[in-house]
Structure 1
Amino acid sequence: MGLPEWDGELTSVRHDPETGAWFVIGVHSTRLGPASGGTRAMVYPGVEDAVADARRLAGAMTLKMAAAGLPMGGGKSVIALPAPRAEIDDATWRQILEIHAANLNLLGGNYTTGPDIGTNSADMDALRTLTPHVFGRTTAAGGPGSSAPMTALGVFAAIEAGVAEAGLDGVEGLRVLVQGLGAVGADVARLAAGAGAKLIVADVDPVRRSVVADAHGAEVIGTGEVLTRECDVLVPCATGGLLTPAAAGTVPCTVIAGAANNLLTDDAAAEVLRRRGIVYAPDFVANAGGAIHLVGREVIGWSAEHVADRTRAVGDTLTEVFADARTHGISTVEAAERVAARTLSGGPLR
């Protein structure tokens, strides 16, 4: 397996012939505390792709934890499934979770995990019976429940900060395009509609599209139109990699702020957005509400009210990021990385 250089601390890769699953854990940094990040379970073209995804996401988690002022490092789990999750029987899934728990135990608390794409709070309940290195359980099992509402709250705070940076007078009346209407995207759409936005939505699932459109009077567009439809605010809440440098050069919007991880394919895309004057809220800041909720409630022991306050402060962090980017003539991604770097180098937690 040929893999590129990586600046993280550890990559663990394990294959289980019986289930056909590959298990990858990327620990990027334990500088601020135990590495933390969700478990993603999905089909990948190959194990190299799963490893690359785990490493990329783990690095983003390091930045997210630092920028949010959380006493945790960055990590990520990826389970490369042999078939889509819906096609895996319960017994096989239980076996996959048991192997994942064993891998977590081998790391001895240096990495803790929660839900992500392909896993949920019920899976974390099951894992917690096998390992203590889990958060994000259901409320019935003593956990804080879904992180989606706080993720959405943080994204909406990012939208408001981006709109202010762009010199626009609030969200009311703006065309807000939400791509991806899962638990987070649907809640962001609700918040935007409640603030008076003219909502435009896109999702591969027709049921989710119709539910949100009916609830908020949203206009529905095809997923292939997301990067070409004129709007004021683009809110990507699906998977990452949406904006290549070429796409960044043509996307017709003023502000971009969403929940998707690794939204930009590279730093060049961020520079293109800067040169075009598009306000971009870096994803690892904008979507930090979920981590604040899960880590804050279940690991640190914060109250729900404190978690909500810390999540709304995502907007304050972005105001600082935008100002730094303006002052130094750099992209907002570079400015946000500077905020995280100051914390990682020994600065105060936010």
Structure 2
Amino acid sequence: MSVFDHPEFDNHEHVAFYHDKEAGLSAIIAVHNTNLGPALGGCRMWPYINSSEALTDVLRLSKGMTYKAAMANLKLGGGKSVIIGDPRKAKTKEMMTAMGKFVDSLGGKYFTAEDSGIAVTDLQTMAEQSEYIAGVQAQYHFAGEKPDGNPAPSTAYGVFVGLKASVEYALKSDLQGVKVAIQGMGHVGFRLAQHLKAAGAELFVTDIYPEGIERAVEELGATPVAPEEIYALDVDVIAPCALGASINDTTLPTIKARVIGGAANNQLAREEIGDILHKQGILYAPDYVLNAGGIIDIYHQRMESSSNEALRAHIEEIGDTLKEIYTRADAEQKATNRVANVIAEERFSNKA
């Protein structure tokens, strides 16, 4: 099947495939839209079943980045890259060197950054081959801590700010005593759990890797849950912080929560699920609005002049943006994801 015929192809500007047998690298870069500026999106390494699954992921993720940048008021376009392989077993420095060469081959049309399976040290290796690697030099941190280039803290803080606003809107409450189920205890999920715990939330957590769950139980007093049970819990909030399409025809009928919002990209298996959530009175925080803290962080690191305070203020705008979406969705009786899509498309449909 041609890329142009792929169901997730959405007028993408550029889709490139790269294979380096000696380095063990098989990767794809997808650039969705650059009307507002060069495409920015993280590099994800994951043990995809096959190249078709990887292509589906990179097409969906790159499109989401276009919408994310537009809703965060950034002069950036949307792109993404994926590496096929298990980051815990197959990753090598030679592979990261080859990936840097791949990114460089696009000549600045696409900038990459950290994502699942990729660390700052991997980006530093890529940066030896290309100037189009973001997140390797950092000047600012939203909380005034020493920055290391990892955007995960900003992503987690943005999700926290957005969930706080969502709970206020839907439940007319703060986070004290609110029950939150978090799927995924990785770099972002665990930090989100820390923020929620500090705000008084009761945590239920799961992950495919047991060490993340164990840490949350020991340090945060979280309740461990089996992966297949997390969406059926009788909680107030579900926070998907793993891979996409977790809100699907299997999990949807089991959901009892009033609010859904997390760090994962492309949480809805299809857009129509947003319509169903709206009819059921479940408030969905559009993922690319809620999890924009990371791209906001990277944008500020590349600015000629910014500050810790400016970065924090920009991230905290996520809460206001969500409330704007919710208010408009209620007024128009439309799903929140539909309203967010319209606003984003208005912003990136014309060249800057």
> What interval of TM-score do these two structures reach, taking the shorter chain for normalisation?
over 0.9
Residue 118 of structure 1: SS of its match in structure 2? coil
User: Where does residue 126 of structure 1 map in the other structure?
Assistant: 125
- Answering whether residue 200 of structure 2 is matched by residue 196 of structure 1, we say yes
Q: CA deviation at 1:327?
A: 1.1
**Ranges in structure 1 where 5+ consecutive residues have no aligned partner:** none
Residue 270 of structure 1: SS of its match in structure 2? helix
1:288 to 292, 296, 308: 292
Change (3 A) 1:115 1:299: farther
Asked if 2 retains the 8 angstrom alpha-carbon contact of 1:297 and 1:304, the reply is no
Asked if 1 retains the 8 angstrom alpha-carbon contact of 2:58 and 2:80, the reply is yes
Asked if 2 retains the 8 angstrom alpha-carbon contact of 1:144 and 1:293, the reply is no
Matched residue type, 2:322: L
Q: CA deviation at 1:300?
A: 5.6
Q: Which moved more, 1:173-182 or 1:55-64?
A: 173-182
Q: How does 1:94-243 map to 2 (within 5 A)?
A: 94-137=93-136, 144-243=148-247
**Separation in 2, partners of 1:323, 1:345:** 23
Q: CA deviation at 1:179?
A: 1.5
Q: How does 1:329-340 map to 2 (within 5 A)?
A: 329-340=333-344
**Separation in 1, partners of 2:147, 2:203:** 33
**Separation in 1, partners of 2:337, 2:200:** 29
Change (3 A) 1:300 1:159: farther
**CA deviation digits over 1:261-314, x for unaligned, max 9?**
111100111111111000000110110001111122135643222111111110
Q: Which moved more, 1:298-307 or 1:174-183?
A: 298-307
Change (3 A) 1:307 1:144: farther
CA RMSD of aligned residues (A): 2.0
Asked if 2 retains the 8 angstrom alpha-carbon contact of 1:122 and 1:138, the reply is no
**CA deviation digits over 1:101-137, x for unaligned, max 9?**
2222221111100011111111111111211001111
Q: Which moved more, 1:98-107 or 1:277-286?
A: 98-107
Asked if 2 retains the 8 angstrom alpha-carbon contact of 1:213 and 1:219, the reply is yes
**Separation in 1, partners of 2:214, 2:195:** 17
**CA deviation digits over 1:314-338, x for unaligned, max 9?**
0000001111111111111011112
**CA deviation digits over 1:57-113, x for unaligned, max 9?**
0000000000001110000011113xx223236xxx222222222222221111100
**Separation in 1, partners of 2:126, 2:23:** 17
TM-score (norm 1): 0.92
TM-score (norm 2): 0.92
Residue 166 of structure 1: SS of its match in structure 2? helix
User: Where does residue 25 of structure 1 map in the other structure?
Assistant: 29
**Ranges in structure 2 where 5+ consecutive residues have no aligned partner:** 140-145
Change (3 A) 1:44 1:204: closer
Change (3 A) 1:36 1:309: same
Q: Which moved more, 1:202-211 or 1:102-111?
A: 202-211
Asked if 1 retains the 8 angstrom alpha-carbon contact of 2:35 and 2:351, the reply is no
**CA deviation digits over 1:147-191, x for unaligned, max 9?**
111111111111112112213311111111111111211111111
Q: CA deviation at 1:253?
A: 0.3
Q: How does 1:266-345 map to 2 (within 5 A)?
A: 266-299=270-303, 301-345=305-349
Q: CA deviation at 1:144?
A: 4.9
Residue 191 of structure 2: SS of its match in structure 1? helix
Q: How does 1:80-95 map to 2 (within 5 A)?
A: 80-81=84-85, 84-88=86-90, 93-95=92-94
Matched residue type, 1:85: P
**Separation in 1, partners of 2:220, 2:210:** 15
